[in-house]
Amino acid sequence: MADFTVELTDAAASVAASGIEIAHYVFDPVPEAEGGEKPYLHPVRALDGAVVSAYRPWDHRWHKGLQVTWTHVSGENFWGGPTYVDGLGYVARDNVGTIRHDAFTATEDAGEEVSFTESLTWITRAGDAWIAEERRHRFHGLDRARGLWSLDVTTTLRNISSRPLELGSPTTQGRPNAGYTGVALRLARAWTGGRVLSSAAPEADAADPAAVMGSTAEWIALSGEHDEVDGGGTVLAFAGSSTADPAIRWFVRSEPFPILAPSPAFAEAITLDPDAELALAHRWVIGDRVWTPDETRVIAAEFAL
């Protein structure tokens, strides 16, 4: 049996490992009340079948598993929900854009790893195409004995508008410690209050999420206990790389809800000139139990980018 398989339909890609669907990539989403349609990965599962991602949670309906998105693009909001405006707070505006899947350009469908590469277009609320994207999801690193697998998400964003684009976050607009943007994973609500570990605090068994918020740690790991399925799991995320000048900084919470996002524009906006490109590369490792701190550090060293 191949380690991984991928099956494509008209609207989604299903990735399986050892007969377990570990990721469901919806690239042609059904329109929702909140708008801002974009591709997403949900459910994301550990090898024991437990779901580690969340979909349309009541507090933020636009959070859908693992997504590539952006909160502030020259006044446009590709993240969803209200837009942060300095002095006013979060304001509902008619500025939520969409990210359209155009085509798959390459697919590796079975073996020790599988991947699919696609072209996408970021379209403003007014219908203007601003960004052309090439995105690749690569599933690899299956280890049945240790109960883990890994995912690389790489993307290149190219400005196809006729103007420079400013790519920022709520923090670049004035809200402290709200630098979420880029690739983000909303974790299952059962993991609220879960344990956070960070490469930036190697001497500690657990890190205060508030202390690692905005940090430039190489990796962050969040562990929690499942509902429905006995036991727990661990998600290890690597900051990876960005071709822009700002350092990748972490938006991480375990309260009031668990979320992991390596932000390329946490506190400093990126200016993308016409026809210029921004390339990002991140890695996620999904484990089917709560790793000890020592285990986490060993696995993080093994899977480091």
Q: Along the 305 residues of the chain, how does pLDDT read in single tens digits? A: 579 999 999 999 999 998 899 999 999 999 888 889 999 999 999 999 999 999 999 999 999 999 999 999 999 999 999 999 999 999 999 999 999 999 999 998 888 999 999 999 999 999 999 999 999 999 999 999 999 999 999 999 999 999 999 999 999 999 999 999 999 999 999 999 999 999 987 677 788 888 899 999 999 999 999 999 899 999 999 999 999 999 999 999 999 999 999 999 999 999 999 999 999 999 999 999 999 999 999 999 999 99
Q: Beta partners for 183?
A: 68
Contact between 40 and 32 under an 8 Å Cβ cutoff? The reply is no
DSSP state at residue 90: E
What domains can be seen in the chain, in order of their start residue?
4-303 (2.70.98)
Separation of alpha carbons 269 and 213, rounded Å: 17
Q: Which of 82, 76, 238, 64 is nearest to 159 (CA)?
A: 76
Q: What is the pTM of this model?
A: 0.96
Separation of alpha carbons 70 and 28, rounded Å: 18
Q: Beta partners for 166?
A: 271
| DSSP per residue, 138-204 | EEEEEETTTTEEEEEEEEEEEE-SSS-EEEE-TTTTT-TT----EEEEEBPGGGTT-EEEETT-TT-
Separation of alpha carbons 69 and 72, rounded Å: 10
